[in-house]
Amino acid sequence: MARRASLAAVAVLSGLTVAGAALARQNSTFQPPAAPLAPQAPPAPRPAPAPTPAGEAQPTQVTPAAANPVPPASPKPGAVVTPKPTTPAKPVEPAKRQRYSVAIVQALDKVTTETMRFEVPVGQPIRYKTLIFTVRACETAAADEIAPETSAYVVIDTQPKAQAGRAAPPGRQVYKGWMYASTPGLHPLEHPVYDAWLIACKQSLPDAPPAKP
């Protein structure tokens, strides 16, 4: 009798164990249904752009430039590259010489040893005994020249005076060229009777006639 009761209890426990395992397997494979999606609200309408008054320009959207500019493309091998023209530098103009209107000349009579200093206005012939002096230019060296110098371009003609009852003999040129005040022997007057050289240059005084020897 007791043995039957034990077997019945084992059978009941076995049934409960099988039923619990089946229930646990059913719970592990059970998935709840997905929640329905909430309806989405329709997008809000974009406001219409305000009308632009007549005569006014509409704003333009400016696209910002790239942060890194694109480098220029390298020339292809063998391609002829034309250099860009460059503007040449303007040359420096040399300083101008100072020009004067009067030359101061000193003459010597080798026979009488008489000397005389006189003024010769530029472009005006001046007579000294039988010589006629005509100065074409009288100037001093510019500031950018190496040595200061005073020079004059002189033309000297010999013209003897006419004697009573006789016509004046024809004149002839005895000197033409530059005279230099600092070096009178550089281009001297070669005459058997007279000698002459440049002393200086100066500006003529207004309303003052030049002195004649």
Domain map (residue ranges) of the chain? 98-162+169-202
Distance CA 179, CA 164 (A): 36
C-alpha span between 213 and 204 (Å, rounded): 17
Q: Could you give the percent of the chain with pLDDT greater than 70? A: 55
Residue range 173-198, pLDDT digits in tens: 999 999 999 998 899 999 999 999 99
pLDDT of residue 40: 57
Q: Of 209, 199, 164, 204, which Cα lies nearest the Cα of 179?
A: 199
Give the model's pLDDT for residue 71.
64
Q: Is the pLDDT of residue 45 over 70?
A: no
| Residue 121 to residue 208: CA distance in whole angstroms | 11
What average pLDDT score do residues 41-58 get?
56
Q: How far apart are the first and last CA of the chain?
A: 187
pLDDT given for residue 138 in this prediction: 95
